Chain A
Amino acid sequence: EPEVTQTPSHQVTQMGQEVILRCVPISNHLYFYWYRQILGQKVEFLVSFYNNEISEKSEIFDDQFSVERPDGSNFTLKIRSTKLEDSAMYFCASLLAGETQYFGPGTRLLVL
């Protein structure tokens, strides 16, 4: 069965550093998403991406965040200058319109 993959599985960074989280969505999917889950809390929507542009973003997704689909297969989330409160699990997801969203295994980010 096809799956969404994410790298790295864990990332530790210093406050103020830039991080890039990578995702490879399922190949024929059209919609791409990033979600965040702070430890012990609910899963929150960050951003959706369709047709090579952001279609919706939450208030969490401020100017420090950006997304890109640079080569037609990868889908990346960049945090420009990490803060302590960015420590969370980040999930990528993709879907074909109207079908079930497939989630990746997540990247656990720890900002020190």
Chain B
Amino acid sequence: GNSVTQMEGPVTLSEEAFLTINCTYTATGYPSLFWYVQYPGEGLQLLLKATKADDKGSNKGFEATYRKETTSFHLEKGSVQVSDSAVYFCALSDITGGFKTIFGAGTRLFVKA
């Protein structure tokens, strides 16, 4: 079945540091890939998405590229801010799974001033 694996956290960075959160997936079909962000005590917010190979999703300085050859969708940001502290979930969805979303375990990011 479909699955998502992402790097374990927590990840602690200083403000303005470069962020990478690794994510790889297993899927039988051609999934769409997503990154969601969850701030403390809040719900899930869609951060970015990519629907086909080589697509790059981007939002708020974050970006991720759909790499079919390595089955990866790593999240990057060039310069993190304290306000980026949150839990980040990599996820996939495809028609063979009835479009249900399969989430990774989440990676908690702490950004220090």
Contact = CB atoms under 8 A, between A and B. Distances in A.
A104 interface: yes
Contact of B46 (A43, A45, A100): A100
Contacts, number: 54
A42 B43 contact: no
A109 B41 CA distance: 13
Given A42-B104, A42-B106, A101-B93, A95 B43 contact: no
Contacts of B99: 31, 48, 95, 97-98, 101
B88 to A, nearest CB: 12
Interface of A: 31, 33, 35, 41-45, 48, 50, 55-56, 89, 91, 93, 95, 97-98, 100-101, 103-106
B89 interface: yes
A44 B103 CA distance: 7
Contact of B100 (A42, A48, A104): A48
Given A91-B43, A91-B44, A103-B43, A43 B100 contact: no
Interface in B76-113: 89, 91, 93, 95, 97-106
B44 A55 contact: no
A48 B34 CA distance: 19
A106 B106 CA distance: 17
B43 A45 contact: no
B49 A43 contact: no
Interface string B46-83: 10010000000000000000000000000000000000
A49 to B, nearest CB: 10
A98 B95 contact: yes
Given A100-B46, A106-B43, A35 B101 contact: yes
Contact of B89 (A43, A56, A100): A43
